[in-house]
Amino acid sequence: MTIPEPPPATLRLKIDREALAANWRALDRLSGSAAAGAAIKADAYGLGVAKVVPTLLDAGARQFFVAHWSEVAPVLAAGAAPEQLAVLHGVNTPADAAYAVATGVRPVINSLRQAALWREAGGGLCHLMIDTGMNRLGLPPSDIGDGAIAALDIDIILSHLASAEDDTDQSARQLVVFETARTGVKARRTSLANSAGIALGSGYHFDLTRPGLALYGGLPCEALAGELAQVAFPQAMVMQVRSVPTGGLVGYNATFRAPHPMRTATLSLGYADGILRCWAEGGALLHEGRVLKIIGRVSMDMIVVDCTDVPDLAEGDFCDLPYSLVAAAETTGLSQYELLTLLGDRFAR
């Protein structure tokens, strides 16, 4: 049986590639003499590596980071060269190491055990993560002098800032640890700053910065305000318009009762698409700039809005979900990272 192409999706995620490229160029400029790379893990923060990677390559990005080995193939298919790609979780099994050798993608070594696995697999160029106080993943500074580390052929030595967006001395303390640690390791390049770390100044830039959230329109710190543009624009189709009488109940568990006769619209959008139930508390969609307040509970695949004051809204129309990440985070209580990476794969990107 030949399966025909599916009909057009009732969910759309518009990706502004020009804004994405402009964000990378801004972050590259703000990185001073350092080059800006790009964190593209979690399918480019939910926006899709198939569109994001070519856009960033065209803009000038030459170093990419993912978290899992399962993320490698789509990035290579999108045009990145193996040597331009690093896997942050490193090699945790012999199979990981064998895959790294076979593809030419570089692992980020995080421990003495990973260093041994990499050497046993035949090794080659790799990167090294130093834990400078986040206590999450990375080589403890006390292990830097081990012979297993000295035997590595290291391209980038890197660490990760835990609180670069906060008014705290943690970043400065991490910088001191990192400066000391890197003197004990032979490496071609050095990298510390994430998106917010770029705004901390040239002392944090080294050879390579690793922006993530800011590439996709997120604002990790006020110092970057005005530099970044929105990239993701979700839209959902109206499937049904109906009349609800006074006292009519809407949605699961009857959390909304109509205070007067209302005109409502049911849209193809729900928590399976990443629009969690927290959107119902003060959330709204827009149609040609007019507000459609969410009423009742968000369902798995549907959401109901009040369109009483938008009489021309019709079935088949698309509505916009406001997705300026700072404002959406304030509305929902979700982090900007969650807002991006929760977006489901039913959106046509």
Sequence-distant (≥ 6) Cβ neighbours of residue 289 within 8 angstroms: none
Specify whether the CB–CB gap between 55 and 71 falls below 8 A.
no
Q: Which of 41, 45, 204, 216 is catalytic?
A: 41
Burial class (CB in 10 A: 0-12, 13-18, 19+), 124: middle
Query: What are the angstrom distances between the C-alpha of 256 and each of 216, 263, 281?
Result: 35, 14, 12
As given in the structure block, the two tokens for residue 215 are 């590439």
Q: Is 14 helix (H, G, I), strand (E, B) or coil?
A: strand
What whole-number distance in Å separates Cα of residue 221 and Cα of residue 52? 23
Specify whether the CB–CB gap between 263 and 37 falls below 8 A.
no
41 in catalytic set? yes
252 in catalytic set? yes
As given in the structure block, the two tokens for residue 269 are 């959008």
Sequence-distant (≥ 6) Cβ neighbours of residue 236 within 8 angstroms: 10, 11, 12, 267, 268, 269, 285, 303, 318, 319, 321
Q: Which of 51, 204, 252, 271 is catalytic?
A: 252
> CA nearest 54: which of 75, 28, 69?
75
Amino acid occupying residue 68: H
> Any bridge partners for residue 178, and if so which?
none
What whole-number distance in Å separates Cα of residue 222 and Cα of residue 214? 12
Residues, the chain, total?
A: 349
Instruction: Give Rg (Cα) of the chain.
Output: 23
What whole-number distance in Å separates Cα of residue 24 and Cα of residue 217? 10
Catalytic residues: 41, 252
